[in-house]
Structure 1
Amino acid sequence: MNENFKLIKQAYEKIANAGKFDPEVMRKAVRPLAEAYGASVITIKVPLKFSECQLHYIYGDENVVINGNQVITCEGDPNAGGKTVITWVCGEGHTWSEEDIDDINYICKTACALSEKLRLGAMANSYFYMDTITGVSNINGLSRFAEQLIRRGKSTEYGFAFLNIVGFNYVNKKVGFKAGTKVMKMYASKLKEQLAKDEMVARPGGDNFVIAFKKENIEKIKKIVEGISLRIRVNSSTIKFSLSARTGIYMVTKPDKPFDKIMSYLSNSINYAKNYARENIVYYNKDVEHKVIEYREFCQKFRTGIDKQEFFVVYQPKVFTKNNTLYGAEALVRWNNDGRVIYPGEFVEIFEKEHLISDLDFYVLEHTCIDMRRWLDSGLKPVKVSVNFSNDHLGDEDLVKRITEIVDRYHIEHSLIEIEMTETVDVNEINQLLSYVDGLHKNGFTVAIDDFGIGYSSLLMLQTISVDVLKIDKAFIAEVTNDHLKRENVILRHIINMAEDLGVEIVAEGVETDDQRDNLTSMNCHRIQGYFYDKPLMSDDFCKRLAVKTYQ
């Protein structure tokens, strides 16, 4: 041992300094030892995933004939991610002494421990750079790849695409979370298959992926964005999905552009693609960045607007046409921001995407109750007022409780408040909506379905949920004529008749002309909301209308 200790120490240091499990480094490091001890073959068998192993010849090769040679085998710790096995074979014409055997056993045990340390380190290192769900790189792996491109001066040859899968929530709802995860893996594999060896796909999280691609392959990226078709077997059924993606793309123009800046540009591009663009692909430029900044600032103003009471409620009358009398109203919201009145078309969709709309709904309900309390205290007899609640509330188990608490705070009869919900296509959401409607009914509120007739689930909802009012979408009303055979008229007439048979009240929204009013009344629809009778009124003006409910 003393004579060869220096060789053992040198071999150990070379292998340890490699910092990773590297068979080639091992070959060079052990050669002096193998020759000193007269070995003909040295092998190391390392465990892989799924109980598999890989054999490396680090001295000699498989052509060496072993007949009666001395063989020493050492096994490592089986708990270190699998068992490492090192084997030494004595060379022909050479015999190991007891001291040699002790030395070799010591070398093998030390080498096993070092190999396992390096291999486990490599495994931990790979997990640091790998997305464990899909098997592709994670954001750390992408960062490393990008930094290597920058160091090599190759980054300007590349573009980066941030993909957000459209509607992946539907996949999870359709097949369940476990099968949905499998679909995600399949999608990642398809992405990887379509990329060249010098390109990369990474999953930063959720239903998002980032691709680093050669600029000349941009058409391939466009095809990926259009859609990837997948099939999955669930409960003996084959389900097909075509997954398209909204995509932000940044083409690198400067060789020293850091990775965090690239990701910032991608973030702005994908935000623009999701919130503004009509097409699924958005290329980064300064205009995109400015628009996204404006969008964020607009959302930040929301909380300030709520705190400063910048939002105010107006009331659009609902009129019963048989006697032209006010019988109800819808509470609508406006935003007085820096002296400019902003209408819902400019902010509702944005607030829904940013999940801010729920707070606004409760704000409108409370201010409606405040106004209604004032009307009651002045001796007026109020009419029922409907308040919109977005489907963003679905999943809020305390929704009915919170609505009830606000209304009771101002001592308003529950029968004076109607909650308008929007129809939904999702079966799970329909079940949640059913629960809320039942809870609202038990507490004495009526429920209306807004924009009825424009969704795919209209009839399913009507079959499942016992609502009190259907509000016909103004898109239908705009097409109403005195042609009884016109398709839109036939559909609308059947909706009105069906609602009457079910005991459900029908309200026509967006009525603006004499012809529309006359045609609707001829179909036996006598509850109307729209500019034909009145525009949305400020609280004080609506108060005057409550005093004189009949329209002349």
Structure 2
Amino acid sequence: MKWKWHIYYSVEVLFALLTCFVIYYAFCRREQSDLVFVIFNLYALLAVILSLILVVRVDRTQQRRKQSTRKRLAHLTENLSSPALLWSDDFSQVVINEKLTGVTGIAMRDDYDARELVGLFFGMKEMNEADIRRIVMERNLERRCTAPDGTNHELVWVTSSVETDSAGVTTFLSIAADLAELRSIQSELADYSRRLAASEGRYALSMELTDIGILLIEQGNPKLFPSDKLCAMLGLQGTVITVPELEKLVYPADMAVFERHLRNMRESMRAFVGEMHRIELRVRAADGQYHWYSYRFKAKENPETGRLVVGGSVIDISEQKAQEAMIEQLAYVDDVTGMPNRNRLMRMGEELYAGTVEMGTSYWVIVMDIDRFHLINDTCGYAEGNRLLQSFAEVMNAQIKSYGGFAARISGDNFALILRDSGEDDLPDRAVQRVQQMLATKASGTLVNRNLTCSAGYARMPADGDSFEHILEHAEFAVSANKRLGSISRYTSVMHDSIIRESDLEMQLAEAIQRNELVLYYQPKVALETGELIGLEALVRWQHPSGQMISPGVFIPIAEKSHLITQITRFVMNEACRQARQWQKMGLPPIVMSVNVSGTDFYQQNICEQLLATLSRNQLDPRWLEIELTESLALKDIDLTIMQMQQIRAAGIQIAMDDFGTGYSSLSYIQRLPFTMLKMDRSFVLDMETDPVVREIVCSVMRIAKAKRIHTIVEGVEKPEQARLLRLYGCDYIQGYLYGHPMDAAETEAYMRENMTKRKVY
């Protein structure tokens, strides 16, 4: 996102500078001009102002969002009941709450360097990237913090990332616990162990000497010895407790953890000598509720009996766990849908990947995109877009209930689903098809006339990659590789190379648009009866710096997937209208200029307004513009298509159905769609001379079109025989190499002049 913003900002600034230059140039020649220059200057000045306002507004919006997030996190940190430190990896934000100041004596001061201050808490002089990774990755980091007055504090830290902004700056929240009390407990335990005797009575006596939760376990003794404080915490009676009695208090889901640690203590107690260990689990407390407790322990030898004794402190950490859950919510849960986010997916996926390698299991990793989601945001607003995301999340969660697995929202309109591979190769296809069916039922409110679909790609783990990150990338490749809406594709190794090539071409195309490397060529449309030129189709070409002329068949599909298509359409529309008007001013006969419009542009809510603005800017009458829509595009969302077309026709702009007869049962839609022209695909021309069935189809289309008062044109005509047959069948116009190849503006002008006096009729 950061590089896209820089490109966008650079384009805006470049456009503003260029427009200022044009204003200055026009001003210097104002005496040689007329009212057109005045109007142009006013428009250009307005464009500069609007561009600058847009840049400033977007920048301020990002700054406000960033400041809001920082304030929210700072407020959370300051109100935590545990010692906490909020800091960013560029050290632009450091927040120390009162609890941490109370423990360490360190408070925020203006004369402190932020990097050194954070390093002070973690006992590190220089905070480099390796130090930051260690702080985040190590679950319980024990470090010595030295205050400015020389006082040392032993702290244990738990750190999580809670926010990464658009500039790539990550904010971390670190929770600390003071080890001074725990160290004191260890010292007391060492003293008590020397005084313990073999009798239970003496154990009970030692427990009376402390007012903290302590649990002792003696080697070879089936009984456990809790302190009075621990008995009060858990509601225990007496001075001893048996293992079965304690098991009744342990939370069922934590029983396996408890039994594993207890078994390790009894079978290999000597392994716990000298080093501090810890176990965390939920136990039912005296209030009848389950609390989180931390048991920090180590083993020492009782000098009086020679037996090993495991002893340690039991501390209620429920509040700390609640804080960790809050951090988990911030770091791992998507705030729009409530689903796990990409961070959670990556952690889960890495664990699963390791398991698949060790246990020989496999999973399907499926990535799904909501088709044309950006159009819904543009036309219906972000609130409606968020509601659709929430509906899609409900659909994903329903799949988890049916198939099991794990689902997450990974970005924008991208979702991921992990399913256990049960040996059925069609499982991903069936799961996605069910998602597609359920998604189609979510069209309500302003989306009631929308055809909601999603596309998907999937890969098998671990077969399709050497890490979960690569598996996920490959599933995303599979989504991108198929250009059809609603497609489902499985990853293959060939896709990777293809995507890399397309990615390079996409970056070159974005640069080409900025450097004005796109040019227009024009192909004639001729009346069959008279040979008169009645129109031109504007065709875009890419003049690559290498000298190669790149066909639109190569770069248009890439532009449609990367949303560069809108910039290309605007360029083609504006240049075609400008050129058509210029030829009119030169005294050439007016012709209809045809421009192809993509689905991305056609389904924008203000498409008609944009067309009229372009016509007005170039002073071209709407009747001399025709937009061409492919048959598949026009019939994709029939109700919305009709609404958009009616607005365009009401404005006086003509509409042609391109590639007619290649996709759907088109004849049934002719009556509903307000087309002015049917453009039959070149495939009919190829077989028309030899196939009687094709000839009959062409004749039928011509008859129906004439009955509906719709003009017809056939493209791809290269032979005189084809032109004669089409003329016989009642076709109005033709387009093809028989009358002219695509030509640049100069060649087209010469062609138009020649057609005024010299025409060919077959």
- Normalised to the residue count of structure 2, the TM-score between the two structures is 0.51
1:531 offset after TM fit, Å? 1.4
CA shift, 1:167, in A, is 7.2
State the Cα distance separating 1:247 from its structure 2 match: 2.3
Q: Is 2:428 aligned against 1:225? A: yes
List alignment gaps of at least 5 residues for structure 1. Answer: 12-25, 49-53, 59-71, 77-83, 87-109, 194-199, 236-240
Q: What residue identity is the alignment partner of 1:183?
A: V
Distance 1:498 1:540, change over 3 A: same
The equivalent residue for 1:281 is: 490
Residue in 2 that maps onto 1:365:
573
Higher relative contact order (CA 8 A, sep 6+): 1
What is the CA–CA distance in structure 2 between the aligned matches of 1:10 and 1:227, rounded to whole Å? 56
- Which of 287, 308, 323 is 2:530 aligned to? 323
Is the 2:677–2:713 Cα contact (8 Å) retained in structure 1?
yes
Q: Work out whether 1:519 is the aligned partner of 2:725.
A: yes
Secondary structure of the 2:560 match is helix
The residue aligned with 1:532 is 738
Aligned length: 464
- Aligned residue for 1:247? 458
Q: Which amino acid aligns with 1:526?
A: D
1:384 match = 592
Give ranges in structure 2 of 5+ residues lacking alignment.
1-205, 216-225, 259-284, 293-314, 377-386, 443-451
Asked if structure 1 preserves the Cα contact closer than 8 Å seen for 2:365 and 2:471, the reply is no
Task: Report what 1:471 is aligned to.
Answer: 679
- Cα contact 2:457–2:476 (8 A) shared by 1: no
| CA distance in 2: counterparts of 1:390 and 1:540, whole angstroms | 27
Render the CA deviation track for 1:401-437: whole Å, top value 9, x for unaligned: 2222222222222221112122346878333333332
Which residue in the other structure is 1:6 paired with?
Answer: 210
Matched to 1:331, the amino acid is A
Can you list the C-alpha shifts for 1:165-185, whole angstroms capped at 9, x where unaligned? 487779xx9xx9476544322
- After superposition, the C-alpha distances for 1:205-258 in whole angstroms (9 at most, x for unaligned) are 545325486xxx5954x32233336476969xxxxx99984224564799xx66
- CA, structure 1 residues 468+483, in 2 after alignment: closer, same or farther (shift >3 Å)? same
CA distance in 1, matches of 2:251, 2:565: 57
Q: For residues 219 and 475 of structure 1, do their structure 2 counterparts lie closer, same or farther at Cα, with a shift above 3 Å needed?
A: farther
Partner of 2:609: 401
**Secondary structure of 2:426's partner?**
helix
Provide, for residues 20-62 of structure 1, a one-character-per-residue CA deviation record: whole Å limited to 9, x for no partner: xxxxxx99x95697244689979879999xxxxx99xx9xxxx
Of 707, 710, 715, the match for 1:504:
710
Corresponding residue for residue 21 of structure 1: none
C-alpha distance in structure 1 between counterparts of 2:633 and 2:500, whole Å: 33
Query: Aligned to 2:662, which of 443, 454, 464?
Result: 454
Q: CA 1:335/1:279 → structure 2, altered by over 3 Å: closer, same or farther?
A: same
- In 2, the alpha carbon distance for the partners of 1:358 and 1:242 equals 21
The question of whether the paired residues in 2 share the 8 Å contact of 1:134 and 1:185 is answered with no
- CA separation in 1, counterparts of 2:401 and 2:753? 68
Aligned to 2:191: none
Give the deviation of 1:158 after TM superposition.
6.8
Partners of 1:336 and 1:426 lie apart in 2 by: 30
> Do the aligned partners of 1:248 and 1:270 also contact (CA within 8 Å) in 2?
no
Report the CA distance shift for 1:182/1:211 in structure 2 as closer, same or farther (over 3 A). Answer: closer
Contact 1:249 1:283 in 2 (8 A): no
In 2: Cα distance, 1:318 partner to 1:142 partner: 55
Match of 1:188 among 396, 400, 406: 400
Return the alpha-carbon distance in structure 2 between the equivalents of residues 150 and 244 of structure 1: 25
Do structure 1's residue 313 and structure 2's residue 520 form an aligned pair?
Answer: yes
CA separation of 1:300/1:387 partners in 2, compared to 1, >3 Å: closer, same or farther?
A: same
- Determine the structure 1 residue equivalent to 2:306: none
Partner of 1:280: helix, strand, or coil?
strand
Q: Which moved more, 1:348-357 or 1:264-273?
A: 264-273
Amino acid at match of 1:423: E
Q: Is the 8 Å Cα contact of residues 656 and 679 (structure 2) preserved in structure 1? A: yes
Letter in 2 for 1:327: I
Quote the Cα distance in structure 1 between the aligned partners of 2:474 and 2:701: 49
**Offset, 1:455:** 2.9
The answer to whether the 8 A contact 1:312-1:336 is kept is yes
Matched with 2:262 is: none
Q: Deviations over 1:346-375 (max 9, x none)?
A: 111121122211211111122212322332
Q: CA deviation at 1:320?
A: 0.9
Matches within 5 A, 1:92-131: 115=318, 118=321, 121-122=324-325, 125=328, 129=332
Letter in 2 for 1:534: G
User: Secondary structure of 1:227's partner?
Assistant: helix
Deviates more, 1:310-319 or 1:155-164: 155-164
Contact 2:458 2:491 (C-alpha < 8 Å) held by counterparts: yes
Give the direction of change, closer, same or farther, for the CA distance of 1:5–1:267 in structure 2 (3 Å limit). farther
The SS at the match of 1:525 is: coil
Native 8 Å contact 2:634 2:641 kept in 1 = no
RMSD over aligned CA atoms reads 4.9
Tell me the secondary structure at the aligned position of residue 529 of structure 2: coil
- Give the aligned partner of residue 547 of structure 2: 339
Select the residue among 395, 410, 413 that pairs with 2:618. 410
Distance (Å, rounded) in 2 between the aligned partners of 1:397 and 1:242 = 19
Corresponding residue for residue 342 of structure 2: 139
Equivalent in 365, 374, 389 of residue 582 of structure 2: 374
Return the alpha-carbon distance in structure 2 between the equivalents of residues 452 and 151 of structure 1.
Answer: 53
Which residue, 294, 303, 309 being the options, matches 2:510? 303
Q: Sort the Cα spacing of 1:385 and 1:179 in 2 relative to 1 into closer, same or farther, 3 A.
A: same
Question: Which of 356, 366, 391 is 1:163 aligned to?
Answer: 366
Question: 2: distance between equivalents of 1:269 and 1:448?
Answer: 34
Q: What is the alpha-carbon distance in structure 1 between the residues aligned to residue 532 and residue 354 of structure 2?
A: 77
Shift of residue 378 of structure 1?
Answer: 2.5
Identify the residue that residue 631 of structure 2 maps to in structure 1: 423
Distance 1:128 1:435, change over 3 A: same
**Matches of 1:279 and 1:251, distance apart in 2:** 20
Task: Give the SS at the match of 2:700.
Answer: helix
Amino acid at match of 1:143: M
The change in CA–CA distance for 1:30 and 1:352 in structure 2 (over 3 A counts) is same
**Once the two structures are aligned, what percentage of the paired residues are identical?**
23
In the alignment, the residues of structure 2 paired with residue 180 and residue 226 of structure 1 have an alpha-carbon distance, to the nearest angstrom, of 17
- The one-letter amino acid paired with 1:547 is R
**Counterparts of 1:159 and 1:136 in 2: how far apart (Å)?**
23
Cα deviation code 1:270-296 (max 9, x no counterpart): 544669xx9932244xx7554433211
On the 8 A contact 2:714/2:735 being kept in 1, the answer is yes
In the aligned structure 2, how far is the partner of 1:299 from the partner of 1:244?
21
Tell me the SS of whatever aligns to 1:6. coil
Q: Distance in 1 between matches of 2:354 and 2:393?
A: 35
In 2, Cα distance between equivalents of 1:355 and 1:547: 38
Q: 1:513 to 1:225 in 2, by over 3 A?
A: farther
